[in-house]
């Protein structure tokens, strides 16, 4: 539903901001119920309060209002995000859908709008976050789980079948990124979705090249785990490194159509030239 516009001023205390929001909701025929324990005990309490929308029918969902009067910094973003994830994962009543609305005199960070938005892309981003965690200390052993997460969410969010053995995985990821995420005006910073889709893309390439491969932390891939392809009789010297997460994120930024498919073709070519292996039939 549409919520009332509320002007929160930088000079407002959190209590004055609460009053402005509560009056606007009352005028719109809606009430707000404060999370008293959360609003009084947490570190954010002097400048951030949480409310649940009260109306005659919740329509199977729960609506949460967040009021913040202090300029957003990384620490505030992380704390608000973690509290909202707790609410999202354990809604009241259980099983209900949760929607979020933010009020602040400062621009709400895109990452919060993307994670807690209402579109299928936002849902994909939020669910990916639970595994990817913005890529902080991303370990190679989690990449296959991220790939499976992306395959599951592709079906759940977009009603599109996805398989880790799809020989056209690069094309599928390109279509999802271009037709869904780039076109979505609400999901503006889908870093977790791109990480999970990059892992999915990587797994489809592993399935295509007929040789030994594994996710690994290698210097060629810098911040992200990459995939190391080695010959069947690995002597520890010949290898090909591929960074599908970086390639996927680059495609999102450049929007150069066909770049994931081209990167996959180049990988197969290099594996043939350097390792003497070919594409699986």
The tens digit of pLDDT for each residue in 211-248 reads: 999 999 998 888 899 999 998 876 667 899 999 999 99
Q: 3-state DSSP call for residue 227?
A: strand
Is pLDDT of 161 > 90?
yes
Q: How far from 204 is each of 139, 211, 219, 240, CA to CA, in Å?
A: 19, 13, 23, 16
Q: How far from 257 is each of 191, 197, 249, CA to CA, in Å?
A: 19, 16, 13
In this prediction the pTM is: 0.89
- Rounded CA-CA distance 187/156 in Å is 17
Name the most confidently modeled range: 1-10, 163-172, 212-221: 163-172
Residue-wise pLDDT tens digits, 101-144: 999 999 999 999 999 999 999 999 999 999 999 998 899 999 99
User: Of the candidates 84, 74, 67, which has an alpha carbon nearest to the alpha carbon of residue 32?
Assistant: 67
Confidence band for 73, pLDDT divided at 50, 70 and 90: very high
Percent of the chain with pLDDT over 90: 76
Residue partners of 235: CB distance under 8 A and separation at least 6: none
Is pLDDT of 183 > 90?
yes
Structural element, H or E, at residue 191: helix 191-208
Mean pLDDT along residues 191-195: 97
Q: Calculate helix-pair angle for 120-132, 74-89, nearest 10 degrees.
A: 100
Residue ranges of alpha helices (H) inside 56-190 are 74-89, 110-115, 120-132, 143-158, 169-175
User: Of the candidates 173, 163, 191, 196, which has an alpha carbon nearest to the alpha carbon of residue 262?
Assistant: 173
User: Of the candidates 109, 86, 89, which has an alpha carbon nearest to the alpha carbon of residue 97?
Assistant: 89
């Amino acid at each position: 539903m549409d919520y009332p516009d509320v002007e929160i001023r930088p000079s407002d205390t959190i209590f004055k901001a609460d009053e402005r929001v509560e009056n606007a909701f009352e005028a719109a025929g809606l009430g707000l119920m404060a999370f008293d324990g959360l609003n009084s005990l947490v570190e954010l309490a002097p400048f951030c309060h949480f409310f649940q929308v009260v109306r005659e029918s919740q329509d199977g969902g729960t609506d949460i209002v967040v009021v913040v009067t202090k300029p957003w910094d990384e620490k505030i973003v992380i704390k608000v995000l973690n509290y909202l994830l707790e609410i999202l994962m354990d809604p009241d009543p259980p099983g209900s859908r949760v929607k979020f609305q933010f009020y602040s005199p400062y621009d709400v960070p895109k990452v919060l709008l993307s994670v807690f938005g209402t579109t299928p892309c936002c849902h994909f981003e939020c669910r990916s976050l639970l595994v990817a965690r913005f890529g902080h200390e991303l370990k190679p052993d989690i990449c296959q789980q991220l790939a499976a997460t992306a395959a599951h969410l592709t079906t759940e969010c977009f009603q599109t079948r996805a398989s880790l053995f799809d020989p056209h995985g690069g094309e599928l990821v390109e279509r999802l990124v271009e037709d869904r995420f780039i076109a979505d005006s609400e999901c503006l910073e889908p870093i977790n979705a791109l990480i999970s889709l990059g892992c999915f893309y990587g797994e489809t390439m592993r399935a295509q090249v007929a040789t030994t491969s594994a996710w690994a932390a290698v210097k060629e891939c810098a911040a992200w785990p990459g995939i190391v392809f080695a010959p069947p009789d690995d002597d520890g010297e010949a290898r090909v490194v591929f960074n599908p997460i970086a390639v996927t994120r680059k495609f999102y930024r450049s929007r150069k159509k066909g770049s994931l498919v081209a990167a996959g073709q180049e990988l197969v070519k290099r594996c043939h030239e350097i390792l003497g292996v070919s594409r699986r039939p």
